[in-house]
């Protein structure tokens, strides 16, 4: 399904990124793994999936996304066929704390919006008319909103959705295919862990459980395959019917 394609996956040392790397490799792709701090986990995954390599970059820093793309392109002998923008941060931005408000908004806008958009810009410019595929991992919060202390997170994911739709419309003529996934709670270390919080989260999901990272990864790998190009620009909800549009 992905034979002969090289895929760059951000935030791939754990969670959805890790499972996406596994799914893409299983489908025949050559995978390039990005990580922020967890180098040992990234290297372990790289050995498991026979990755082209690992690249460490802190996407909260200006210029990091451009450096990541250039490094990945060098690793791939100049050709990257697909991109998965998975890396993201989830920070509280309470109205009552001006320090957390300012720092949380700034970090989330940089990591959740600027970095993936810079990677999309690099990819689209590199591909020209040859085309390629992009999957962005956003969030249910982009449409439903989030808790009272996470307006910054919801806004950042909403911005990513809007940017992806815009670029999909603009570049479909060159066979650039861009999709966005908007999961609800996923079984990762970002999911609620306290018993009370967990019960409350699950109560809101008609399916009766949070999503598994493998489910998100399977959808990402399928979309990267190009088997449904007419869906470019679409947003896919993976939330157990907790928010139905």
Catalytic residues: 153
DSSP 111: I
Helices (H) and strands (E) in the chain — how many of each?
Answer: 9, 7
Q: Is 154 helix (H, G, I), strand (E, B) or coil?
A: helix
**Closest by Cα among 31, 168, 164 to 156:** 164
> Please, what is the end-to-end C-alpha distance for the chain in angstroms?
30
Contacts with 8 (C-beta within 8 Å, 6 or more apart), sequence order: 32, 34, 68, 69, 72, 76, 80, 82, 83, 84, 119
Q: In the chain, where does DSSP find H-type helix?
A: 15-26, 39-49, 64-75, 98-109, 115-127, 141-144, 151-171, 195-203, 213-224
């Amino acid at each position: 399904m992905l034979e002969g394609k090289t895929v760059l996956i951000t935030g791939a040392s754990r969670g959805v990124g890790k499972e996406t790397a596994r799914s893409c490799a299983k489908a025949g792709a050559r995978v390039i793994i990005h990580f922020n701090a967890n180098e040992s986990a990234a290297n372990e995954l790289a050995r498991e999936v026979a990755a082209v390599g690992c690249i460490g970059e802190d996407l909260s820093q200006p210029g990091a996304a451009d450096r990541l793309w250039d490094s990945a392109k060098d690793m791939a002998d100049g050709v990257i066929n697909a991109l998965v923008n998975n890396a993201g941060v989830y920070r509280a931005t309470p109205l009552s704390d001006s320090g957390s408000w300012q720092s949380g908004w700034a970090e989330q806008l940089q990591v959740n919006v600027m970095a993936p958009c810079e990677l999309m810009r690099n990819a689209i410019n590199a591909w020209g008319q040859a085309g390629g595929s992009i999957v962005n991992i956003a969030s249910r919060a982009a449409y439903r909103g989030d808790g009272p202390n996470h307006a910054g997170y919801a806004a950042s994911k909403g911005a990513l959705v809007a940017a992806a739709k815009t670029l999909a419309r603009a570049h479909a003529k060159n066979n650039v295919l861009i999709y966005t996934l908007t999961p609800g709670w996923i079984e990762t270390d970002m999911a609620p862990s306290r018993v009370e919080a967990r019960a409350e989260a699950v109560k809101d999901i008609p399916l009766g459980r949070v999503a598994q990272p493998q489910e998100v990864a399977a959808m990402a790998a399928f979309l990267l395959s190009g088997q449904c190009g007419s869906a470019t620009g679409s947003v896919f909800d993976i939330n157990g019917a907790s928010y139905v549009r």
